[in-house]
Structure 1
Amino acid sequence: MTAPGIRAALAADPGLGAGNVLHKLIEHGAPLDGPGMTFDTAVDDHPAGHALTLGELRDAVAARAAWLSAQGVGPRDPVAVYVTTAADCFLHFMALNWLGAIPALMNPNLPGDVAAEYIRRLRAVGLLTDAEHRRLLARSDRGLELGFRIDAVYDVTQTPAGDPAAAPAPYRHADDDPIAITHSSGTTRMPAAVTQTHGNLFVGTRLQRLRKPKARGTDRILSVLPAPHAAGIMAINHALCNRSDLLYLSRPDDGAAVVDAIERWRPTGVFGFAVTWAELARIDLASRAVDSVSLWYNTGDCAHEPHIRHLVAVGSHETVTREGVQRVPGSMFVDGLGSSEMGHSAFHITHTPDTERYGRCVGQTHDFVEIKLLDPQTGDEVPVGEVGLCGMKSASLSPGYWNDSLNTYRNRRNGYYLTGDLLYRDEEGYFYHVDRMVDAVDLGGGRWLYTAMSEERILKDCPDILDCTVVAVPTDDGVVTDVLLTLHPWADPDADWEPAVRGSLSAAAGATLRRVLVIGEDQLVVGPTGKVRKFLMRQRHAAAAAAAATPVAAAAANSAATQVATPVAQESGAL
């Protein structure tokens, strides 16, 4: 069957969902020698970079499913997956889904103590891990006392030994069956465990990818999304359903490695998070062979304008001319705003070299999403042009947090899921993201300091600044703001950056500015996905301010900062 015919058959299949794409492809006649997946590490007897066919992918997954089944893993068993490589993450995700088990995919950058407490809260019946992460867990305060038998810790080097022919019949999922537990980025506290179902995590793929023409730039996809994220699952299902070639990198935080992979593998599309585009902003892409790329696809946090412009200025795309279809310089960047809880980005906007609608515009909503901007106090919808808390209704939403009904219901209001994002809408129906609720600061008198929008303005106005972080700290005398800068290599680190930064800020934000500091990356506190942990940055700055006052106050502030910085001491939450 042809690729369009397979896409049509999949689109019409009501049983297709996020947990059985591999089986449904084969059931609908996808050729076994067609595209499966490519990884940057070896898979069984195949070397790194080998393009697994659909049949080879099926055999690798079946072997792991057979091995796990022999260990007693079965339907509804939550099994944590704490591994290094994208290959180990996805092959075991598919194998556990084959059995009807529930893979809890964990970011490999989670510290051992956080991971141990997270697994304990999951009440997982098993753990799939590798030597590196087993050592991290063993060194944590909790060790491997995770609330389940030590013999239920499975080494991922053993699972390929299963016999593919011995794999049981694939589990038949219903729409509301859990097929994964993914976690939030953990930028404020212990990551929240987000339940993903067979149905909710496939809404975007079904409605946006299968029932509409195949998107330009998706014939050959390089994914630099974090593999354990909900976006990672959607990326592999997107590629498999559309019969696209897919290379998945295990280290999305390494900008140089991403560019090397583009030059070597020649993708037409690159999927990633905003942190990846900030990494690529360090590199002179005009001097690199990135002309194959026609699409950059972003989800999670929306991207900054200078980083987008840096990307769309390179690459190439096809256009119709008097001489016929030709490939010309310049690419497109599809931006959105999403989260693990949303299940799929709620918004979309496409930028090209000629785009002028920026200012943290995240575009308009997808057809399957309803958005209302709500007053955080009353829950009433705010008028056009006024900032409100984002409330979302969609079939793509996660049903809630695993083992955490408190936060599942705390983040719902009048039937809407509260995403924690602050936005406003213009008269044309375009939405603009100004901040996360936890990062915005009430200055009184109806004035607010929006840290994300402040960072956007600084980066737009100051081209020598590569990236910046705005940290607002409440003090006894009011709010003070420190702006932390990382510079492009050509910029002067000893220059006085304060006037330019102050000039970029709103009057309300500028009035709180205390200092502008050029820092090294090692001074930023980041979470497992590379996002800056402003919550902890504020605590660090509060401790530093106290240290400048009295030794006693410094000790108290440092004690408080330590408690906040110890994720296992925090209750999980979404926002």
Structure 2
Amino acid sequence: MYLTQSLHRDMQTRPDDIATITGDRRRTVRELHDRVSRLAGALQNLGISKDDRVAYLGRNSDYFHEFYLGTFWADAVVNPVNTRWSAKEIAYSLDDSSTRVIMADETIRPHLDEIRALYPHVQTLIWTGSGPAPAGAILYEDVLDGATPVADARRGGESLAGLFYTGGTTGFPKGVMLSHANLFVGALGSCIGRFVTPGAIFLHAAPMFHLADFGAWAITTLTGGVHVSAPSFEPEQVFEAIRRHSVTHTLLVPAMLQMLVDSPLRPHADVRSLRQISYGGSTITQAVLERAQDAWPHVAFVQAYGQTELSPVTALLGPQDHVAPAPKARLRSAGVAAPHSEIRIVDPATGATLPANEVGEIVSRGGHVMLGYWNKPEETAKAIRHGWLHSGDLGYLDEDGYLFVVDRLKDMVISGGENVFSAEVENALARHQAVAACAVIGLRDDKWGERVHAVVVLKAGETVTESELRDHARQFVAGYKVPRSMEFVDALPLTSTGKVQKNILRERYQ
């Protein structure tokens, strides 16, 4: 199993078909094959050899596609860098991975001097941006023009494919080591589960450095699809790309999905070509999902649950579970174990398997479980025990094997001795018509140990009082779960993948 395999097959079966689209630029499979083999040759000329790391720091584009395939082709390891990190976090990931060659565009420019000061060991900066290259950088197209194509190393199997650094919301990020086999198994199983279906014209609207989008990238690549890139997530760009390129599939995190549904452009947007929206990366409220289904009744919805350490999917809620006659309550679930995955619910303290409908830690096993954390054997041993990846998420399985995720272990609120799952309270608050987004955290309280605190963003032009929201929440959750304190804000702090940074909220309100 090697991730460049599909490019060889496509050269035999569809060399003149379109492979990638970025703006007005279209490249065929034949052009892609030539550019990838030249990039691999260029990387080797720059001193990249077996197992070396190559980083990419930039916006979504066809260059990202070439970076992945070209690095694998050169027998090296990819290190896609989060563009929203601080210079210190970026430098840390480069230093931790001993990365010497970086491909980058304009997104690195504001941080470049500081990165170079913090990590002076970058040997080569390859510039993929459209603006003037920084001092010392070499232009990407010049690199390709001066390179000779090389044979594919056909790096695969258990060899390391990439270091995918986790979000860095608590301390510095960890490098998740994923093999070609990990990513291949995850892609094939997710394809069977309809995360992305074969022959897709797939829009990369979510960040391509994130493993959720990489999972969709791998399926689209393996099944002969077309990659369309939106440089960044803007509703206008997304709607225009769908119309212009007849996009059939895309992946969105819940925050993105909500932005599209709420956009004033939505009623007039031409999305007739769109067949499926896959969503995941963070918890979605049932209210947002139902509004999206109402907005686009012709579109199938698929939810994926997992994490970077699971390549990245371990459970899927398929299209058939989003519509009648499936029970409506099933929309609150994360689906069933994906075809390549096994899931259990265990007692966090003892590791014993828990019965149906009892909340515990979600653990997974299969060929998609990471090799481990880069240079962190102790943390690897904590996360992987007897072959099972311990997710840090709390949830339960119902009698039919559907997984319900209720909270992160670290986000559960214990108030007056009772466990309060923040996602449950957030879902109740989000059902109010005035609420655009919300987050629930636990704050220290002299009487209750912790109190339930809600941070709420209202829709434009809407008003609601704390008392009204509490009364609304009591319709759906027990009294001890209703927020005892509340704050209205203009926006929630989000990671680049749309997850609420609750650690920041806890620090702010504590």
Indicate whether the TM-score tops 0.5: yes
Aligned equivalent of 2:54: 79
Aligned Cα RMSD in Å?
Answer: 2.6
SS at match of 2:405: strand
- Tell me the distance in 2 between the aligned counterparts of 1:348 and 1:486: 29
Aligned equivalent of 1:31: 14
Deviation of 1:105 after TM superposition, in Å, equals: 0.5
1:147-226 aligned at under 5 Å gives the runs 148=121, 150-156=122-128, 158-161=139-142, 162-163=144-145, 166-209=148-191, 219-226=200-207
- Tell me the distance in 2 between the aligned counterparts of 1:65 and 1:160: 13
Q: Residues 382 and 213 (structure 1 numbering): CA distance in 2 closer, same or farther, change over 3 Å?
A: closer
**How big is each residue's C-alpha offset from its partner over 1:520-557, in whole Å with a ceiling of 9 and x where there is no partner?**
12xx3222323211012101111xxxxxxxxxxxxxxx
Matched, 1:530 2:498: yes
Once the two structures are overlaid, the 10-residue window that deviates more, 56-65 or 396-405, is: 56-65
Matched, 1:474 2:444: yes
Matched, 1:443 2:412: no
Q: Residues 371 and 125 (structure 1 numbering): CA distance in 2 closer, same or farther, change over 3 Å?
A: same
**How big is each residue's C-alpha offset from its partner over 1:1-37, in whole Å with a ceiling of 9 and x where there is no partner?**
xxxxxxxxxxxxxxx43354323433xx122111311
Matched, 1:282 2:262: yes
1:22-171 aligned at under 5 Å gives the runs 22-26=7-11, 29-39=12-22, 48-139=23-114, 143-146=116-119, 148=121, 150-156=122-128, 158-161=139-142, 162-163=144-145, 166-171=148-153
1:119-518 aligned at under 5 Å gives the runs 119-139=94-114, 143-146=116-119, 148=121, 150-156=122-128, 158-161=139-142, 162-163=144-145, 166-209=148-191, 219-252=200-233, 254-283=234-263, 285-315=266-296, 329-349=297-317, 350=319, 351-352=321-322, 354=324, 356-358=328-330, 360-443=332-415, 445=417, 447-459=418-430, 461-477=431-447, 478-492=449-463, 497-503=468-474, 506-507=477-478, 509-510=480-481, 513-518=483-488
**How big is each residue's C-alpha offset from its partner over 1:26-80, in whole Å with a ceiling of 9 and x where there is no partner?**
3xx12211131112xxxxxxxx233321112222323322322221112111122
Contact 1:313 1:330 (8 Å CA) reproduced: no
Q: Give the fraction of aligned pairs with identical amino acids, expressed as a percent.
A: 21
Q: Residues 402 and 49 (structure 1 numbering): CA distance in 2 closer, same or farther, change over 3 Å?
A: farther
2:507 to 535, 539, 543: 539
Contact 1:35 1:243 (8 Å CA) reproduced: no
**How big is each residue's C-alpha offset from its partner over 1:336-386, in whole Å with a ceiling of 9 and x where there is no partner?**
211111103111113545451346301111122111111111111111111
Contact 1:19 1:179 (8 Å CA) reproduced: no
- Tell me the distance in 2 between the aligned counterparts of 1:185 and 1:90: 21
Aligned equivalent of 1:21: 6
Deviation of 1:276 after TM superposition, in Å, equals: 1.4
Deviation of 1:389 after TM superposition, in Å, equals: 0.2
Deviation of 1:165 after TM superposition, in Å, equals: 6.8
SS at match of 1:341: helix
SS at match of 1:391: strand
Deviation of 1:397 after TM superposition, in Å, equals: 1.4
SS at match of 2:305: coil
Contact 1:86 1:249 (8 Å CA) reproduced: yes
**How big is each residue's C-alpha offset from its partner over 1:189-231, in whole Å with a ceiling of 9 and x where there is no partner?**
322211121110011333453x799966953222222201223
TM-score, with length taken from structure 1:
0.80
| Paired amino acid for 1:330 | H
Q: Residues 391 and 510 (structure 1 numbering): CA distance in 2 closer, same or farther, change over 3 Å?
A: closer
Q: Residues 19 and 33 (structure 1 numbering): CA distance in 2 closer, same or farther, change over 3 Å?
A: closer
Contact 1:412 1:418 (8 Å CA) reproduced: yes
- Tell me the distance in 2 between the aligned counterparts of 1:152 and 1:399: 28
SS at match of 1:187: coil
**How big is each residue's C-alpha offset from its partner over 1:110-138, in whole Å with a ceiling of 9 and x where there is no partner?**
11121112211222233333354144042
**How big is each residue's C-alpha offset from its partner over 1:389-425, in whole Å with a ceiling of 9 and x where there is no partner?**
0111010111111122121111122331101111111
Deviation of 1:462 after TM superposition, in Å, equals: 0.9
- Tell me the distance in 1 between the aligned counterparts of 2:70 and 2:194: 30
Once the two structures are overlaid, the 10-residue window that deviates more, 258-267 or 422-431, is: 258-267
SS at match of 1:517: strand
Deviation of 1:437 after TM superposition, in Å, equals: 1.2
Deviation of 1:497 after TM superposition, in Å, equals: 4.0
| Paired amino acid for 1:100 | D
SS at match of 1:536: helix
Q: Residues 212 and 296 (structure 1 numbering): CA distance in 2 closer, same or farther, change over 3 Å?
A: closer
SS at match of 1:333: strand
**How big is each residue's C-alpha offset from its partner over 1:165-201, in whole Å with a ceiling of 9 and x where there is no partner?**
7122111223111111112223333222111211100
- Tell me the distance in 1 between the aligned counterparts of 2:60 and 2:247: 20
Aligned equivalent of 1:42: none
SS at match of 2:123: helix
Contact 1:305 1:358 (8 Å CA) reproduced: no
Once the two structures are overlaid, the 10-residue window that deviates more, 498-507 or 288-297, is: 498-507
Contact 2:344 2:362 (8 Å CA) reproduced: yes
TM-score, with length taken from structure 2:
0.89
**How big is each residue's C-alpha offset from its partner over 1:480-528, in whole Å with a ceiling of 9 and x where there is no partner?**
23212222234226685433454256336436x332332112xx32223
Q: Residues 431 and 352 (structure 1 numbering): CA distance in 2 closer, same or farther, change over 3 Å?
A: closer
1:558-573 aligned at under 5 Å gives the runs none
- Tell me the distance in 2 between the aligned counterparts of 1:289 and 1:136: 38
